[in-house]
Amino acid sequence: MKKFLGIGLFVVILILVLIFWWRYYFVFGEGVKAGNLNFFVKKGYVFKTYEGRLIQDGFKSTTPGALQSNEFEFSVTDDSIASVLERNSGKFVELRYKEYLHSLPWRGNSNYVVIEIMRAEEGTKNGNLPYQ
């Protein structure tokens, strides 16, 4: 009976560990986003994480007839990437990211974690805007 309980307990713990890994560490997808870096901050009560927002070209709308800017909110775990993004606020950037199923407090508030800066350049991609 002890052997059966030991094996059963081991299987239950193994299943719980696999579920935790799948929910929080499994990379659901990878991709590239480009746009103007709106803001980039380091914040948090216990775990200080880097959070940012990218404003992309075009509009998206969840309801018909409404306009909403296309925003991409992300987190950064690497200090070297964070220092480069802090110096490029307001510039056009291309970011490579990983998408996780859920966020972790020490990884950031977003499911999207930036792993590489592919390009950072002055201004917007569309240089003929009337207000520039």
pLDDT in tens, 104-122: 999 999 999 999 999 888 6
Question: How many angstroms separate the Cα of 125 from the Cα of each of 37, 57, 92?
Answer: 12, 9, 7
Torsion 78-82-84-89 (CA) sign: positive
Q: Classify residue 21: in a domain, yes or no.
A: no
Residue 82 counted as domain residue:
yes
19, part of any domain: no
Q: pTM for the full model?
A: 0.75
In the chain, the DSSP E strands lie at: 27-43, 49-60, 68-76, 92-100, 112-121
pLDDT at residue number 131: 46
55: in domain:
yes
Half-sphere CA count of 78, side-chain side, radius 13 A: 12
**9-31 per-position pLDDT tens digit:** 999 999 999 999 999 999 999 99
Q: Where do we find the tokens 């201004």?
A: 123
On whether residue 72 sits in a domain, the answer given is yes
7 lies in a domain? no
Which residues span the domain enclosing 102? 28-60+67-121
Output the domain CATH number for residue 110: 2.40.50.140
Highest mean pLDDT among 53-57, 59-63, 73-77: 73-77
Indicate whether 84 belongs to any domain: yes
Count of domains for the chain: 1
* Average of per-residue pLDDT values in the chain: 86
